[in-house]
Amino acid sequence: MIRALGASLIVTHSVMASDSVISTIYRRDLFKGTVTIVTGGGTGIGYRIAREIAHLGGRVVLASRKKVQLDAAVNELKKEGLGDRAQAIPCNIRDRNDVRNCIAQVIKECGRIDYLVNNAGGQFPSFAESISPNGWAAVIDLNLTSPFFVAQEVFNTHFKDQKRGVIVNVIANMFNGFPTMSHTGAARAGELDL
């Protein structure tokens, strides 16, 4: 399938795993032999990222606070024949001990980490004049401070010695203003420099 997007031409093809087919622009087995941690991997964007990486041959570790959502996500991947490429590790990225334990478990069980997708986050809509100090701090902690410490832990425990690794920070598009989201806009802008 060929799609034109703006001035770009994107060629997509289907990747199969068992009965499941997804359309992708990436080559088959692009992630073969790699290990990717996806924070917030149990639902939404994180799950879709993990799913595509698994379809492209990579092993994915879905990390999130809610074990029920993680288990459901891994079960969905098993239904698609990707169970051997996916595992769930409960991890609250705001808890440094959880982060350390998660990274250590990934290294112990997978032997390596090649990619970190810092996807976990959250916010609530509010006009700037109404955001409480606690609300501001909670959003900054979840969307800026915590991803920084996850990236730092992965770097210090694995990427540094390995002399390679990729960190992808999923952010919101706040470049043209982000009404009712000044707290998340500030956090996500800061995340650009991680």
Using pLDDT thresholds of 50, 70 and 90, give the confidence band for residue 173: confident
In the chain, domain spans: 29-191
What is the residue type of 64? Answer: S
Q: Domain 29-191 carries which CATH code?
A: 3.40.50.720
104-155 residue pLDDT tens:
999 999 999 999 999 998 888 899 999 999 998 999 999 899 999 999 999 9
* 125: Cβ contacts below 8 Å, ≥ 6 apart: 180, 181
Q: DSSP alpha helices (H): ranges in 56-145?
A: 67-79, 96-110, 133-140
What's the predicted TM-score (pTM) here? 0.84
**Phi, psi for residue 11 in degrees, rounded to 5:** -100, 125
Mean per-residue pLDDT, 25-46: 93
**What's the full length of the chain, in residues?**
194
Q: Are 80 and 19 in contact (CB under 8 A)?
A: yes
pLDDT in tens, 6-16: 333 333 444 54
What does the radius of gyration of the chain's CA atoms come to, in whole angstroms? 18
Q: Is the pLDDT of residue 87 over 80?
A: yes
